[in-house]
Amino acid sequence: MGHFLVSTLEYIYIPEGYCAEIWIRSSFARKGVIGSFGFIDSGFRGNLTLSFFNAGQESIRIRRGERVAQMVIIRMERPPDRAYGERSGNYQGSRGVVESRL
């Protein structure tokens, strides 16, 4: 039980004019796992670090390559004023699990 971070295996790129959301798979939610995800900004590239909390009564095991989340890609009505790398870009090019940089 408790908080843990997981990195995606996939190195993703969200092109300008698109953004994305991450949603936890319902089979993990049914076990009491809560995922805290935000939007993936237009222009982001890198591995994603996903934050989970196991509020269930039992320990869980996530195996390498197991699908724990799904990405929903959204086409924006207009391109962003500035892509992710032109704004903060704190996590641009991330590889593996990356702790908070705040």
The CATH number given to whatever domain includes residue 28 is: 2.70.40.10
pTM: 0.79
Domain for residue 98, yes or no? no
Two structure tokens written together for 38: 């935000």
Domain for residue 93, yes or no? no
Predicted confidence (pLDDT) at residue 98 exceeds the cutoff of 90: no
- The Cα–Cα gap between 25 and 35 comes to 9
Nearest to 73 by CA among 26, 17, 28: 17
Count structural domains, the chain: 1
Domain for residue 42, yes or no? yes
Report the length, in residues, of the chain: 102
Domain for residue 94, yes or no? no
- For the chain, the average pLDDT equals 90
Q: What is the pLDDT of residues 51-91, one digit of tens each?
A: 999 999 899 888 999 999 999 999 999 888 888 877 777 88
pLDDT for 82 equals: 83
Domain for residue 74, yes or no? yes
- The Cα–Cα gap between 19 and 63 comes to 27
Predicted confidence (pLDDT) at residue 102 exceeds the cutoff of 80: no
* 3-state SS assignment for residue 29: helix
Q: Give the range of the structural domain holding residue 48, as residue numbers without chain letter.
A: 2-86
pLDDT for 33 equals: 94
